């Protein structure tokens, strides 16, 4: 099964592409904020390098054009992650400039999230419609 690579911060902003990092049968990290994905990658590298350090240390890029960086069109991820947590997970009202921008962006990019594969839920509020039927363990109906 093809696993997708989009994370919650990218899904919230529409920075995941339907035929790119959202294309697959299961979204295992789509409920992790960008900062949590980095922390998970660093955790995997504690004993020995499993994930090349260049992947972790280079600035995030959708690689849509030469020298493009995510921060060219997105707020810094530490700020964005806080806003995603506040609006999506904690369902707080938009207060900061970033949160107001994100709220508008969430509405504009909802169509992409409706087309996403099932997302493994690890937070209090994941994107997706909340599948009620088991996907694994030879469930019987």
Its pTM stands at 0.85
**Residue 119 domain flag:** no
**Residue 1 domain flag:** no
pLDDT given for residue 4 in this prediction: 94
Q: What is the pLDDT of residues 63-122, one digit of tens each?
A: 777 888 888 889 999 999 999 999 999 999 999 999 999 999 999 999 999 899 999 999
Boundaries of domain holding 51 = 8-114
Identify which has the larger pLDDT, 133 or 1.
Answer: 1
- Region for 107 from its dihedrals, namely left if φ exceeds 0, alpha if ψ lies in -120 to 50, beta otherwise: alpha
**Residue 129 domain flag:** no
**Residue 66 domain flag:** yes
Q: What is the CATH number of the domain that holds 49?
A: 3.40.50.620
**Residue 132 domain flag:** no
**Residue 140 domain flag:** no
How far, in Å, are 53, 56, 61 from residue 49 at the CA level? Answer: 7, 11, 22
Across 74-111, b (16+ Cβ under 10 Å) vs e yields: bbebeebbbbbbbbbeeeeebeeebbebbeebbeebee
pLDDT given for residue 79 in this prediction: 96
**Residue 53 domain flag:** yes
Q: What is the pLDDT of residues 14-72, one digit of tens each?
A: 998 888 889 999 999 999 999 999 999 999 999 999 999 999 998 887 777 788 888 88
pLDDT given for residue 138 in this prediction: 61
**Residue 122 domain flag:** no
Number of domains in the chain: 1
């Amino acid at each position: 099964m093809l696993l997708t690579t989009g994370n919650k911060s990218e899904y919230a902003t529409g920075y995941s592409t339907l035929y790119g990092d959202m294309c697959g049968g299961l979204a295992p990290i789509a409920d992790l904020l960008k900062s949590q994905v980095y922390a998970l990658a660093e955790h995997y590298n504690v004993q020995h390098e499993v994930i090349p350090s260049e992947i972790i240390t280079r600035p995030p890029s959708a690689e849509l054009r030469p020298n493009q960086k995510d921060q060219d069109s997105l707020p810094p991820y530490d700020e964005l992650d806080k806003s995603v947590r506040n609006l999506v997970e904690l369902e707080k009202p938009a207060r900061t400039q970033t949160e107001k921008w994100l709220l508008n962006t969430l509405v504009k990019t909802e169509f992409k999230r409706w087309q996403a594969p099932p997302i493994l839920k690890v937070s209090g509020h994941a994107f997706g419609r909340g599948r009620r039927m088991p996907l694994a363990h030879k469930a019987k109906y």
